[in-house]
Amino acid sequence: MRRAQVQVQFTWIFSLFAGALILLFFITFILRQKDVSERGLSAEVSAKLDAVLTLAQSSLQTSNNVTIPGDLGFDCTGFVYGGARRPYGNALVFAPGLIQGKLLITYADGWDVPYRASNLLYLTSPRVRYIFLNNSETVHSLFEAMPDAATKQSVEWNITLMASIMPRNDDYVRIILGASSSTLPSYLPGLDALSPEEVGVLGVSRSVSETDAFTVTFYTRNPGAPVMYSPGEVFGVVGEEMALAAVYSSAELFNCTYSRALDHLEHITAVYYQRSRDLLASYRGPGTCAQLYGAAGSSLSAIRREAQRPPTLMSAEAIAANMTALADANQRLKLFSCPTVY
Amino acid sequence: MIEAVMVLVVFFFLLAVGLMVYNGLAGRGAVQRSQEALELRGLRIARLAMTFPELQCSVSNVIQENCVDQLKASAMSSLLSSDSRARQYYYDTFQEARIRVRQVYPTEEEFVIYEREPAEYRRSEATYLPVIVYDPLSSGGTCLTLHGACHFGTLIVEVYQ
Amino acid sequence: MRRGQAEILGLAVVVVLVVIGFAIAMQFSLRPRDNVKRQVTDRQLASAMLTALLNTNLECKDVTLAEVLQDCASSNVFEYCGSPRRRACQEAAYVTGLILNRTLGEWGKDYQLQAYTKSEPKFNHTIGGCGLGLSDRESEIFPVPTARETIYLRLDVCV
């Protein structure tokens, strides 16, 4: 009897122990598989997003709405989704630091200097608001260049109208106006309650020589009252497409992406320069085309040199001036039925 | 008692066999996915190279699709062989790969645009894309809408893993 | 049935169920997956080959292969390259054969190229052969219109 009692107890203890062991094994297995699965899913979604962005980059001047599964972060090295990071590769991407929500708006345009240097990819979300204060032709032109799918509005330079602008539960508000390198008051007092992380100001102005060079200034908010904006990072950029890129982008991302764009410009200009020299070397016709190839070569050499310099307004103006000279030489080569430089 | 123990022994034996089979299948799936990823990378690089302004045929920014400019290909080849900064810049895009343009008609010529072969690799995958090789130096002709001649060539992209 | 026998029977049922489960799982896992690269590039290979072929200029004359094919479909009187000089259909056959040999041939792909009008075939090149099924080949046909009749260039690349 005693033996039987002990056996029953032992059996119960043994069953409990074995059951707990089996349960522990399966719970551990399930949790591990869940973790592996989540990481795999993040990587797969990142890869698919990468493919979408690659496709968007080649669909020029076309706005696309892409459904995204969650928040996307953008920094100098790549985009991040769910802990999985994908580098940009050669893509020139301009976007806010964080895009939240389910919808991504993509838009691409070519950067011509005057030959196609690269395609630029602009990303935003309907939850980011762009307010263009119409105090210059440049700002108006940028407003028109931005696709209609973006949440944008153009406001006439009128104190009453500007005072009526109120927050609309946006993730971020970007104010764009014609300005450079001077401290600004708050032109939209209705937005003063927003934190510095929720609102930013970008000043854009075209070069006085009316070339394709612009100054873009990322303003930072001064803490305390009255609300004021001080000029932060200032860049001299070439092309309206680059000025538009600054509208989309955070200051940090614009800094590193524009530097990469200039690197790319340097290398592609070297290719065109060598091409112009090969065309000149093999040309056997009258002297006009030879002179034009020589002139084109000088412009290309100057563009390459300026692309290696820091992005100031002076170097942007120098690039823009040589762009005009190169375009002129190319057009004349076409008129003389000679192979063009680009 | 003994039966309970035997049942547990058999159960754990089956569990062990099941795990071994699962690991085997998962491993095979990983190898397949790795091969697929390599193929997709080759495809992506080939498509990217075809849309590069550094290689594309164009006149006044009007692009000709599926066309490689011979002079640009030659210039790109010499730039990447002589300029280490340019090599590092394009490595971010192409990484370990070999990209070449091979003209097959009328004459056979080859330009190695980019080359970065790793010291050791388990496998490689080649992608071939037929292209027109545009020669602007050829006199008195037209290629598509461009001044010069169209030759037949292939863009060959080899990727490594 | 005694208790022990019942337990052994139960165990046997479990083993049988597990074996059936494994068999089904392995059947799905061992099924060959579609080759992604084949789906993407081979589908476009025939089309890209023909596009490039038709726009290729001859080595000795500033005409494209498309123009030579037009001549082949209509008069076939002009002479082109080679010594002795080849007529249009001969020249087109020579150039296409050379190019396909140096490309698809070297890549180890079987193919068939046919040039024909509605009234007669003009020339063809065949290396190996595709299967009978539609999924065994990627095909493309390009029509080249002339004043007289249209000549078709068809390329089948075996996959």
Statement: residue C112 has pLDDT above 90: yes
Higher-confidence residue: A172 or A86? A172
Query: Residues with Cβ < 8 Å from B40, sequence gap 6 or more?
Result: C36, C37
pLDDT computed for residue B19 by the predictor: 80
pLDDT computed for residue B42 by the predictor: 87
Q: C25 falls in which pLDDT band (50, 70, 90)? A: confident
pLDDT computed for residue A161 by the predictor: 87
- Mean pLDDT over C36-57 rounds to 83
Query: Residues with Cβ < 8 Å from A161, sequence gap 6 or more?
Result: A155
Lay out the sheet containing A78-81: strands in order across.
A84-87, A78-81, A72-74, A98-99
Q: How far apart are CA A207 and CA A216, in angstroms?
A: 11
Question: Do residues C143 and C152 lie in contact, with contact meaning Cβ atoms separated by under 8 Å?
Answer: yes
Q: Of the given ranges (A21-35, A80-94, B21-35, C68-82), which has the lowest mean pLDDT?
A: B21-35
Q: Tell me: the pLDDT tens digits for A152-199? A: 999 998 888 888 889 998 999 999 999 876 778 888 888 888 888 899
- Residue among C26, C57, C81 with most chain B CBs within 10 A, to mutate: C57
- Number of B/C CB contacts below 8 angstroms equals 92
Q: A225 falls in which pLDDT band (50, 70, 90)? A: low
**C47 vs B: CB within 8 A:** no
Q: Tell me: the pLDDT tens digits for C142-157? A: 999 998 899 999 999 9
Counting residues of chain A whose pLDDT is more than 70, the rounded percentage is: 99
Q: How far apart are CA C45 and CA C110, in angstroms?
A: 13
Higher-confidence residue: B25 or A143? A143
Dihedral angle at the C-alpha atoms of A303, A309, A313, A315, nearest 10 degrees?
-30
pLDDT computed for residue C37 by the predictor: 62
Strands, E, within chain A: which ranges?
Answer: 64-67, 72-74, 78-81, 84-87, 92-94, 98-99, 103-112, 116-124, 128-134, 151-156, 172-177, 184-185, 199-206, 213-222, 228-238
**What is the ipTM score, two decimals?**
0.86
State the nearest Cα–Cα gap between A238 and chain B, in angstroms. Answer: 17
Q: Tell me: the pLDDT tens digits for A98-144? A: 999 889 999 999 999 999 999 999 999 999 999 999 889 999 999 99
Residues of B whose CB is below 8 A from C52: 66, 130-132, 152-153
Q: Tell me: the pLDDT tens digits for B131-152? A: 999 999 887 678 888 888 999 9
Q: Tell me: the pLDDT tens digits for A285-312? A: 778 899 999 999 999 999 999 999 999 9
**C66 vs B: CB within 8 A:** no
Q: Neighbours of C (≥3 Cβ pairs closer than 8 A)? A: B
Residues of A whose CB is below 8 A from B93: 89-90
**Cβ separation of B48 and A279 shorter than 8 Å?**
no
Domain boundaries, chain C: 1-31, 35-158
- Number of A/B CB contacts below 8 angstroms equals 89
According to DSSP, residue A189 is labeled: G
According to DSSP, residue C58 is labeled: P
The helices-and-strands tally (H runs, E runs) of chain A is 7, 15
Statement: residue A60 has pLDDT above 90: no
- Mean pLDDT over C92-119 rounds to 94
State the nearest Cα–Cα gap between C15 and chain B, in angstroms. Answer: 8
**Cβ separation of A14 and B4 shorter than 8 Å?**
yes
Q: Which of B105, B138, B140 sits opposite C56 (nearest CB)?
A: B105
Q: Would you give the end-to-end CA distance of chain C in angstroms?
A: 61
pLDDT computed for residue A179 by the predictor: 81
Nearest by Cα to A228 from A240, A219, A237: A219
Averaged pLDDT of chain B:
87
Q: A283 falls in which pLDDT band (50, 70, 90)? A: confident
Question: Do residues A261 and A111 lie in contact, with contact meaning Cβ atoms separated by under 8 Å?
Answer: yes
Q: A284 falls in which pLDDT band (50, 70, 90)? A: confident
Q: C38 falls in which pLDDT band (50, 70, 90)? A: low
State the nearest Cα–Cα gap between C21 and chain B, in angstroms. Answer: 10
Q: Looking at this protein, which amino acid is placed at residue A274?
A: Q
**C45 vs B: CB within 8 A:** yes
Fold of the C35-158 domain: Ribosomal protein S3 C-terminal domain (3.30.1140)
* For B30, nearest residue in chain A (alpha carbons): A40
Q: How far apart are CA A139 and CA C125, in angstroms?
A: 62
Q: B155 falls in which pLDDT band (50, 70, 90)? A: very high
SS3 of residue B112 by DSSP: strand
pLDDT computed for residue A29 by the predictor: 85
Residues 113-152 of B with CB under 8 A from A: 136-137, 146-148
pLDDT computed for residue A95 by the predictor: 95
- How many other CB atoms are found less than 10 A from the CB of residue A68? 18
Residues 81-120 of C with CB under 8 A from B: 95, 98-99, 102-103, 107
Question: Do residues B67 and B134 lie in contact, with contact meaning Cβ atoms separated by under 8 Å?
Answer: yes
State the nearest Cα–Cα gap between B142 and chain A, in angstroms. Answer: 11
**Cβ separation of B58 and A342 shorter than 8 Å?**
yes
